[in-house]
Amino acid sequence: MASGDEPPQFRVLGTFEVSRGNRRCTPTAPKQRALLALLALHANEFVPTSRIVDQLWARGAPRSAVAALHGYVTAVRRVLTPSWVSSRTSHPILNTRPSGYVLCLEPHQLDLTRFRELAKQGQTAMAAGDCARARETFAVAVSLWRGAPLADLRETGMFDHDISRLEREYLEVLRNRFDVMLCNGDGHLAVFDLEELCRTYPLWERFHEQLMLALCQAERRADALTAYARAYRLLSNQAGIEPGPRLRAMHQLILNGEDPFDRGHRHERVLTGLQLAHTVSP
């Protein structure tokens, strides 16, 4: 790579963005942008040409698709490395392989890689009982999100599967993050966000459960019972199901006037007592 070529940075946790140094260089041509986004989502993995064609021409590829793809590859290579001369050298980042391509990125070049690393580190800290550390790690992971993933490519319908997968990963990190907050008894700080999550994702029972616990910690037991009634209604209206055992157990506990956090160290209370927080995964 020539000295003037700064390594490109890719961001998928929001609108799709490519930049070099402080300059944005996201391709504006829709197919070029989609091609780069697809390769970035699978950074350092072999992506077969057939798969790229299927995804870029979801409504059926014309016979010229592969030739068109070669043109897009050349164009995006110039965007990524302006000094690159196609006839002389192989490209340093977007490699050609037999029947496919690999976009080779260092972890710091892609927000998704960083997010996944942090999510994993947070889980490890949590499993080791270091919830304070986990909490910090999850907060950094969440801060990498600038909005709905690949927001500008959503309408193309090409990335439905990838987008829903990213959203699921995000919700799992949020869930873990609230678990460690609740483990520390900081429910009052989580109520607002959890109420919003329960509205947006009414079928994620875990958020309802966390909201009830958060309200209890905020000394709002009556509101926690109201939250249960709302969860009950949402689950039965939207999915025809009743709350699962964890949610029902939480409800019963509040009705009985029992306090999930009445003695001992917070983390231990969760571990030895009701097991309402992170010791049991859904």
Site of interaction with Zn ion (CB under 5 A) = 131, 183, 267
Query: What's the CA gap between 196 and 92, in Å, rounded?
Result: 44
Q: What SS3 class is residue 138?
A: helix
Query: What's the CA gap between 112 and 12, in Å, rounded?
Result: 7
State which residue, 77 or 135, has the beta carbon closest to Zn ion.
Answer: 135
Q: Tell me how far, at minimum, the Cβ of 131 lies from Zn ion, in Å.
A: 3
Q: Tell me how far, at minimum, the Cβ of 279 lies from Zn ion, in Å.
A: 8
Q: Tell me how far, at minimum, the Cβ of 263 lies from Zn ion, in Å.
A: 16
Instruction: State the DSSP H helix or E strand holding residue 232, giving kind and residue range, or none if neither.
Output: helix 221-239
Question: What 3 state SS string does 175-218 have?
Answer: HHHHHHHHHCCCHHHHHHHHHHHHHHCCCCHHHHHHHHHHHHHC
The neighbouring-strand residues paired with 100 are 48, 97
Q: What SS3 class is residue 4?
A: coil
State which residue, 155 or 262, has the beta carbon closest to Zn ion.
Answer: 262
Q: Tell me how far, at minimum, the Cβ of 46 lies from Zn ion, in Å.
A: 40
- Residue indicated by tokens 């390594």: 7
Q: Tell me how far, at minimum, the Cβ of 127 lies from Zn ion, in Å.
A: 10
The neighbouring-strand residues paired with 20 are 8, 23
Q: Tell me how far, at minimum, the Cβ of 237 lies from Zn ion, in Å.
A: 34
| DSSP string across 59-119 | T---TTHHHHHHHHHHHHHHHH-TT--TTTS--SSEEEETTEEEE---GGGBHHHHHHHHH
State which residue, 52 or 183, has the beta carbon closest to Zn ion.
Answer: 183
State which residue, 206 or 267, has the beta carbon closest to Zn ion.
Answer: 267
